Amino acid sequence: MITRERAIEALQAERFDLVVIGGGITGAGVALDAASRGYSVALVEKADFASGTSSRSSKLVHGGLRYLQNFDLGLVREALLERQLMVKLAPHLVTPLQMVVAAFEGARPDRIMGIGLNMYDVMATPALRGRRSARRAVQLAHRSQRVNGDEPEPESDWSPARHRMISGAEVVELLPALTEREPTGGYLFYDCQTDDSRLVLTVLGEAERFGAICANRLEVKELLGGRGEGSGVKVIDAETGEQFPVRGANVINATGVWADRIRPEELHSEAEVPKIAPSRGTHVTVAYSDLPLKAGAIVPAGEGRSIFALPWLGRSLLGTTDNNYSGDIDHVCPSPEDIEYLLDATNKFFGTELGTDALTGAYAGVRPLISSGDTRKSVDISRKAELYETSSGLITITGGKLTTWRRMAKLAVDRLVERDGRDAPCRTHDIPLGQPIDVDRLPRIDGVPEDSYEALAARYGHAAEQVLAVAGEDPELASPIVAGHPDLLAEAAFSARYEQARSVGDVLLRRTRLGLLAAPELRAPGGVAPARVARATGRELGWDAARVDAEVERFDREAQAEGIPVR
């Protein structure tokens, strides 16, 4: 990406066809979609890119088996098609994941689950849709689909195998953590997994390739005018306090859970803007050695609910909770009750005794669920995306899922195109997201541990070559940020230079994911990692020694506000 300074210069000097508010996955998707259809696009993010919900998900690119229970067939099918497309467009970043539903004491795996998995297969696999029963399921799905896909179905090298029953021995092989409980069988099915904040950064990078100008730490304070000459937004720069207009003929509000806070002065009716009902979801991570998983597991959590236990970046990720939330949405903390709930369910299922001293990380996020005014629990509210338009022209797109970002973006930009009477079809189903690279082709740099190459290739694709070039500039940059983890100090310098990282938290929470995976090391008294990151970032951004110290302290405050655990 271009530097923040250059982006701000361009934002102040130019007038754009479209200003996008919000740098989560939805805003990034809107910027890519609009820019690739020929619009000039500005995107402004009030904090860091992906610092909202888009760095706090379960990291699944999935149809969502659970939504079948609510007969949200359209949503499931749409998400399954997107899942397949994402593996094709970003094969390094969105990867297939085996998922297991285990059974014990000779019991048949749950039949209702089997029926759900059958529907899941049918909706996901074009070849299976020829059959009559399958056709019926797909017709139903089409009928309830709100976001119409007028695109060809994705063709991908990856097509998930059908779910199947597996033996107890196979369950143990995939979920070694269950060894003691001696499972007797189970179901195996497939979903996909990603690194959510890296997906956002990758989509933003592609948007920039099509000419979009994106900058973080610019908060929209006011909407300017309607759709005429003076239209656009007024932003405040969080680093300098300066306020300035970003001029744009159209504005799309993609601020997720903040979406109902952006309102034009005049509204004809409240139905022109969404009303958000935030729901908090907490996750924790533990060491692989404490809960060894090679595949994901569906873990019963009581009252018909379940959580996931997933292998992720060398750790085991447990989540999520799903409860109505009315607290501060700028810093969402995992609550002690939520953590206890996750550990209880995990311990009961795996027969472990994990306590809070086993945590290697914890985080929480809020879902941008749309309130329909009913009193249903948040788990039962649909994850469908909704589009709103005010009489003054502001388009808001919110709700949805990480998985369906591309469809959400298309929905919003289609509306813009229709309004403008342009002939500009969506192209994002054909735009690769980054470029995969063969690990063996990466140049070897002295001091870089062997397992870092694979991690870099998965995170950056081809751009891993650039990260390694930075690592080659100084032996210290070639070393890991935290011993035993593959993330290199070079990534701090790289992300400050090329990804608008502006703080230690940006590097540790969203460029690398060490804040979620190595919390005790980062927060230990006298720990050196945050200071090393501050020095490497500061060299790029011109910080003096006092500023480096201040940034380390700032990270500590941020980590505390985010509830990142200390041991």
Cβ neighbours of 294 (radius 10 Å): 13
- DSSP result, 374-389: ----GGGS---EEEEE
Is 523 within 8 Å of 566 (Cβ atoms)?
Answer: yes
H runs (alpha helix) in 222-335: none
Asked if 505 interacts with ligand FAD (CB under 6 A), we say no
User: Which residue in the set 4, 56, 181, 513 belongs to the binding site for ligand FAD (CB under 6 A)?
Assistant: 56
Name, in order, each residue with C-beta under 8 angstroms of 130's C-beta and a sequence gap of 6 or more: none
307 or 477: CB nearest ligand FAD = 307
Strands 218-224 and 279-287: unpaired
CB 222 within 8 A of CB 263: no
Is 220 a residue that touches ligand FAD (CB under 6 A)? yes
What's at 215, amino acid-wise? A
Stretch of residues binding ligand FAD (CB under 6 A), selected from 156-164, 289-297, 364-372, 442-450: 364-372
Residue 395, strand partner residues = 252, 389
Is residue 219 part of the contact set for ligand FAD (CB under 6 A)?
yes
Cα separation, 312 vs 300, in Å, equals 20
User: Toward ligand FAD, which CB reaches closer, 181 or 407?
Assistant: 407
| Sole binder of ligand FAD in the list 281, 334, 361, 505 (CB under 6 A) | 281
Residue type present at position 72: D
Only segment of 22-30, 131-139, 143-151, 447-455 that touches ligand FAD (CB under 6 A)? 22-30
Residue 496 burial class via C-beta count within 10 angstroms: exposed 0-12, middle 13-18, buried 19 and up: buried
Using the rule CB under 6 A, which residue among 44, 138, 437, 519 binds ligand FAD? 44
Say how far apart CA 231 and CA 40 lie, in whole Å: 15
The answer to the question of residue 368 lying near ligand FAD (CB under 6 A) is: yes
Spatial contact of 278 and 368, defined as CB atoms under 8 Å apart: yes
Any contact of residue 194 with ligand FAD (CB under 6 A)?
Answer: no
Q: Which is nearer to ligand FAD, 191 or 521 (CB)?
A: 191
Q: Kindly state the smallest distance separating residue 47's Cβ from ligand FAD, in Å.
A: 4
In the complex, the smallest distance separating the C-beta of residue 363 from ligand FAD, rounded to whole angstroms, is: 9
Residue 419 has phi, psi (to 5 degrees) of: -65, -40
Positions in 257-276 near ligand FAD (CB under 6 A): 257-258, 262
323 pairs with which residues across the strands?
Answer: 280
Told to check if 109 binds ligand FAD by CB under 6 A, we report no
Structure tokens at 457: 């290739």
Q: Work out whether 515 is an interface residue with ligand FAD (CB under 6 A).
A: no
Of 8, 11, 30, 46, the one binding ligand FAD by CB under 6 A: 46
54 counts as binding ligand FAD under rule CB under 6 A: yes
CB of 256 to ligand FAD, least distance (A): 2
Half-sphere exposure at residue 370, Cβ-oriented, CA atoms within 13 angstroms: 19
Q: Which residues, 6+ apart, have CB-to-CB distance to 436 below 8 Å?
A: 91, 92, 457, 461, 462
Q: Which of 1, 7, 42, 60 binds ligand FAD (CB under 6 A)?
A: 60
Name beta bridge partners: 215: 44
24-43 footprint of ligand FAD as x/- string (CB under 6 A): xxxx----------------
Q: Candidates 105-113, 393-401, 477-485, 491-499: pick the segment binding ligand FAD (CB under 6 A).
A: 393-401
Q: Token pair for residue 238? A: 């969080």
The single-letter code of the amino acid at 186 is: G
Closest CA to 101 of 66, 55, 58, 142: 66
Q: Is 51 in the site for ligand FAD (CB under 6 A)?
A: yes
Neighbours of 161 (CB within 10 A): 12
Query: How many Å apart are CA 16 and CA 514, to the nearest integer?
Result: 37
Residue 47 as a binder of ligand FAD (CB under 6 A): the answer is yes
* Count of residues of this chain found to bind ligand FAD when the rule CB under 6 A is applied: 39
Residue with smaller CB distance to ligand FAD, 274 or 480 = 274
Q: Report which of 191, 157, 162, 199 is spatially closest to residue 79, judged by C-alpha positions.
A: 191
Report the Cα–Cα distance between both ends of the chain, in Å, rounded. Answer: 36
Compose the 221-260 pattern: x for residues touching ligand FAD by CB under 6 A, - for all others: ---------------------------------xxxxx--
Q: Which of 7, 16, 23, 181 binds ligand FAD (CB under 6 A)?
A: 23
Shortest Cβ 290–ligand FAD spacing (Å): 22
Q: Which of the ranges 184-192, 362-370, 435-443, 455-463 carries the binding residues for ligand FAD, by CB under 6 A?
A: 362-370
Show contacts with ligand FAD in window 285-344 (CB under 6 A). Answer: 320
Among residues 32, 52, 370, 406, the one that binds ligand FAD under rule CB under 6 A: 52
Residues sharing a CB contact under 8 Å with residue 371, sequence separation 6 or more, in sequence order: 275, 276, 277, 381
Here the tokens at position 86 are: 């994402």
Of 8, 18, 19, 21, the one binding ligand FAD by CB under 6 A: 21
Residue from 59, 56, 104 nearest 348 by CA: 104
Q: Which CB, 301 or 531, lies closer to ligand FAD?
A: 301
From the list 53-61, 135-143, 156-164, 173-181, the region that binds ligand FAD by CB under 6 A is 53-61
Smallest separation (angstroms) from ligand FAD to the CB of 132? 31
From the CB of 91, what's the least distance to ligand FAD, in Å? 18
Which is closer to ligand FAD, CB of 58 or CB of 352?
A: 58
To ligand FAD, the closest distance from the beta carbon of 15 in angstroms equals 19
Report the residue number, 246 or 548, with the smaller CB distance to ligand FAD.
Answer: 246
As measured in angstroms, the least distance from the Cβ of 82 to ligand FAD is 9
Give the torsion through C-alpha atoms of 384, 389, 390, 396, to 10 deg.
60
Cβ–Cβ under 8 Å, residues 475 and 514: no
Q: Least distance in Å: CB of 425 to ligand FAD?
A: 23
Among 378, 403, 495, 500, binds ligand FAD (CB under 6 A): 403
Q: Footprint of ligand FAD on this chain (CB under 6 A)?
A: 21-27, 44-47, 51-54, 56-60, 219-220, 254-258, 262, 281, 320, 365-368, 398, 400-403
